[in-house]
Chains A and B, each alone.
Chain A
Amino acid sequence: MNEHNILLSKIKKYDFALKELDLYLDTHPNCRRALAMFRKYKELRSQAVDEFTKRFGPLAPEQNNDMQHWSWIDDPWPWERR
C-alpha cells in the first residue's frame, strides 16, 4: 500500500470507531467510558485528516487549500479502484 492508502485507511478505521460509538451512545447516552473513547478517536481522526488533506487533497470541498486548482474534482473518486 502507498502512503495515500495507508493514511486513508487510518482515517477509515477512526471513522469506523466513531460510527460504532455514535450508534452506541444514541442508546447509552450517559456511558462515560464511551464518551471518553469518542473524544479520543475524534482527536486522532482530526490529526489524520489534517495530515491527509495537506498531502493528498480534500476529502470534502471546504478542505480545498490549493489556490491554483480546485483539487476536489481530481481522480480517483471513491468507487474507482486504484
Chain B
Amino acid sequence: MWQYEKKLQYPVKIKTPNAKLAKVIISQLGGPDGELSASLRYLNQRYSMPYGEVKGLLTDIGTEELAHFEMISAILYQLTKDLSIDEIKASGFDTYFVDHTTGIYPIAASGAPLTAAYFQSKGDILTDINEDMAAEQKARTTYDNILRLADDPDVRDPIRFLREREIVHYQRFGEAFRTG
C-alpha cells in the first residue's frame, strides 16, 4: 500500500510563470525517460526479483519517483499559473492549452501521451537492472538538457536536485546488479 504526506520531497517555489519552459519540462512528467515511467518500471519489475536487496531497492526507488512526479507537476503548475492569453499564444503553449487548458497531463515535450511502451518488465534480474541503470542515465541526460534550456534559478534549483537523484539511483542499481 501507499500513504501520502502533504509535502514535496524538495521545495518548488517559482515566482515567474514561463509557459515555454513548461513545454519542455513536461517531458519529465509523461515523456520516455520521465518520472512516471520510471516509477511504473520499478514498481512493476519488483515482483520477479529473487533477492530482498533488489525487491527493497525497486520498491523504495519506485516510491521516490512518485515524489519526483509530484515535484515536476508542481513545477508545471507554478510555471503555467496566471498566464495571460497573449503569453499562451506567444510561448507556443497554445497547442497544449487547447486540449488541457492548464490542467496537468502526462505527455512528452513532442506532445505524445504517456505510454507503457516507454519501459520494460522482462522478468529477468540482470536484464531489468541493466534497463534501470540505463533509464537513470537517460533521465540524467534529460535533466542536463533542461538545465541547458532553463535560466530561471527558481526552476534550476529543483531540477538540479532531481538530476542528482538520478545519479544516486544509478549507483544503487549498480550495487544491486552485483548482488544479482
Contacts and interface: CB of A to CB of B under 8 A. Distances in A.
Interface of A: 8-9, 11-12, 15-16, 19-20, 22-24, 26-29, 58-60, 72, 77-81
B73 A79 contact: yes
Interface of B: 3-15, 52-53, 56-57, 60-61, 64, 70, 73-74, 77-78, 168-169, 172, 175-176, 179
12 contacts: A8-B7, A11-B7, A12-B7, A20-B168, A23-B168, A26-B53, A26-B176, A27-B179, A59-B7, A79-B70, A81-B12, A81-B78
Contacts of B14: 81
B53 A9 contact: no
A29, A77, A81: which has the most chain B beta carbons within 10 Å?
A81
A15 B175 contact: no
A12 B9 contact: yes
- Majority secondary structure of chain B interface residues (helix, strand, loop or mixed): helix
Given A26-B60, A27-B175, A59-B7, A79 B12 contact: yes
- Majority secondary structure of chain A interface residues (helix, strand, loop or mixed): helix
Contacts of A27: 53, 57, 172, 175-176, 179
Contacts of B60: 19, 22-23, 26
B11 A26 contact: no
Contacts of B168: 20, 23
Nearest to A73: B6
Given A23-B57, A60-B4, A12 B11 contact: yes
A9, A16, A26: which has the most chain B beta carbons within 10 Å?
A26
A48 B79 CA distance: 31
A16 B176 contact: no
Contacts of A81: 12-15, 78
Given A26-B56, A27-B175, A15 B9 contact: yes
Given A23-B168, A79-B70, 5 more contacts: A11-B7, A12-B7, A12-B9, A26-B53, A26-B60
Given A79-B70, A79-B74, A79-B77, A23 B11 contact: no
B5 A60 contact: yes
A12 B64 CA distance: 13
Nearest to A58: B6
Contacts of A16: 9-10
A7 to B, nearest CB: 11
